[in-house]
């Protein structure tokens, strides 16, 4: 099948995660060629994907996992690369017009920056890239004439609502949030919330880390940071509204008080496809909305008392320097500890707040400063005791 967009091949970082697997669905649907795949260490799935999609390069971050994969795919004509250099090689593979960055965590930062320097289009699904290093990444993208098209559903919605409009006339961006599995619950009831409870997301089927971030609403705070970097707007001009149906994916309010929204069934394949085929729109596997069955769309204010991570992230979103990298790194470690049963639900907030208070902010940071700030925050939280 010839892909109607002319964008014929992609590199996919983070192919074994939720967005990665859905990107492969989209690639199949669009008839795209996969030039490179990468993952942290999920060798078995990566082997299956390599057999099916026949990339030229497969990168695995973990060295032992890379050796294991190499043995498994000896019969294929594929190069197995490892470590951060391997991920960079996958991001920069020859011939890929679009690099889909779906890896989780700050590991995606260097490979993404390397692909930006080559002027490749980035279909950006790795939140941490913009959360931690938004200014550096957007500056580099401008210098290299690189397009960054967001894959996160809210940012894809905003991107679509901003198309063809004068950025001067934007009053504010309105990010919608489903509210997660704990919507409507009060602080007292959430004190003893368990990972099992938090992992049951009502609308979206996602990886474990982001599902916990949706339960604490930290995810929405990270998305506000992502939006400020991507659209060059201050944090005060980004609102968050709870919208349990997850049909309106976000909105833009203009100077004349007109609001433009993007709606669809909650299906990540749509924003993934849009980021690859932009500015064209082509048929997708996403079901069309049936307005006769859509009985209501509701909106409410976030409960900052029950979900203090959101308030903390909104406050940090307005701080330049390394603070956002600290918040992000601390949160990554805290979510890991919550999932292991070492921290309670509000232990996530407490330890992230403690990391922000303990680790000083560096203004105008270098990339190394940013990475180091995130690592220090992780270490701090690993050792954090209530
Ligand atoms: Mg999102």
CB-based burial of residue 8 (10 Å sphere; 0-12 exposed, 13-18 middle, 19+ buried)?
Answer: middle
DSSP, collapsed to helix, strand or coil, labels residue 100 as strand
Q: Report the separation in Å between the CA atom of 28 and the middle of ligand 1, taken as the mean of its atom positions.
A: 23
Residue 175 C-alpha to ligand 1 middle, in angstroms? Answer: 9
* pLDDT score, position 96: 97
* Residue 295 pLDDT: 84
CA of 19 to the centre of ligand 1 (A): 11
pLDDT at 1: 38
From ligand 1's centre to the CA of 300, what distance in Å? 18
Helix (H) or strand (E) run with residue 35 in it:
strand 33-39
111 CA from centroid of ligand 1 (Å)? 22
**How many angstroms does the Cα of residue 178 sit away from the middle of ligand 1?**
9
Ligand 1 centroid to Cα of residue 78, in Å, is 33
Q: What is the pLDDT of residue 2?
A: 45
Q: What is the β-pairing status of strands 248-254 and 259-263? A: antiparallel
The residues near 56 (Cβ < 8 Å, ≥ 6 apart) are 35, 36, 77, 78, 79, 93, 94
What percent helix, strand, coil does the chain show, rounded to 5? 50, 15, 35
Phi and psi, residue 132, nearest 5° = -85, -40
- Residue 352 alpha carbon to ligand 1 centre in Å: 21
> Are β-strands 170-177 and 238-242 bridged in parallel, bridged antiparallel, or unpaired?
parallel
Distance 152 CA to ligand 1 centre (A): 5
pLDDT at 6: 56
Model's pTM, two decimal places? 0.94
Q: 105: left (phi > 0), else alpha (psi -120 to 50), else beta?
A: left
Distance CA 156, CA 95 (A): 25
Among 26, 32, 1, CA closest to 96: 32
* Alpha carbons 87 and 233: distance in angstroms, whole number: 31
Ligand 1 centroid – CA 282 distance (Å): 22
- pLDDT beneath 70: ranges in the chain: 1-7
| Per-residue pLDDT, 332 | 94
């Amino acid at each position: 099948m010839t892909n109607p967009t002319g964008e014929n091949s992609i590199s996919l970082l983070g192919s074994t995660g939720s967005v990665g697997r859905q990107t492969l669905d989209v690639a199949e649907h669009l008839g795209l060629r996969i030039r490179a795949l990468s993952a942290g260490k999920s060798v078995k799935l990566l082997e299956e994907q390599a057999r099916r999609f026949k990339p030229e390069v497969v990168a695995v971050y973990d060295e032992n996992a890379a050796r294991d994969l190499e043995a498994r795919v000896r019969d294929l004509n594929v190069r197995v690369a490892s470590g951060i250099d391997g991920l960079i090689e996958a991001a920069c593979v020859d011939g890929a017009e679009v690099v889909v960055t779906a890896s989780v965590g700050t590991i995606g930062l260097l490979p993404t920056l390397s692909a930006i320097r080559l002027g490749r289009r980035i279909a950006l699904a790795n939140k941490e890239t913009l959360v931690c290093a938004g200014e550096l990444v957007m500056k580099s993208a401008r210098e290299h004439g690189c397009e960054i098209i967001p894959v996160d559903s809210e940012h894809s919605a905003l991107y679509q609502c901003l198309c063809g409009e004068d950025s001067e006339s934007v009053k504010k961006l309105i990010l919608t949030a489903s509210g997660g599995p704990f919507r409507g619950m009060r602080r007292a009831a959430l004190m003893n919330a368990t990972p099992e409870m938090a992992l049951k997301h009502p609308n979206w089927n996602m990886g474990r880390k982001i599902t916990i971030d949706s339960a604490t609403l930290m995810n929405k705070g990270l998305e506000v940071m992502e939006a400020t970097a991507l659209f060059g707007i201050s944090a005060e001009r980004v609102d968050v509204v709870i919208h349990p149906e997850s049909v309106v994916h976000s909105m833009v309010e203009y100077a004349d008080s007109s609001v433009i929204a993007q709606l669809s069934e909650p299906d990540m394949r749509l924003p993934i496809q849009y980021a690859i085929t932009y500015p064209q729109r082509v048929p997708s596997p996403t079901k069309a909305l049936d307005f006769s069955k859509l009985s209501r769309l509701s909106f409410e204010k976030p409960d900052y008392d029950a979900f203090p991570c959101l308030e903390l992230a909104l406050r940090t979103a307005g701080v330049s320097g390394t603070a956002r990298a600290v918040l992000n790194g601390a949160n990554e470690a805290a979510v890991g500890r919550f999932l292991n049963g070492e921290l309670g639900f509000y232990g996530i907030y407490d330890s992230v707040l403690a990391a922000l208070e303990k680790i000083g902010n560096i203004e105008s940071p270098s990339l190394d400063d940013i990475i180091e700030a995130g690592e220090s925050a992780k270490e701090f939280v690993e050792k954090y005791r209530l």
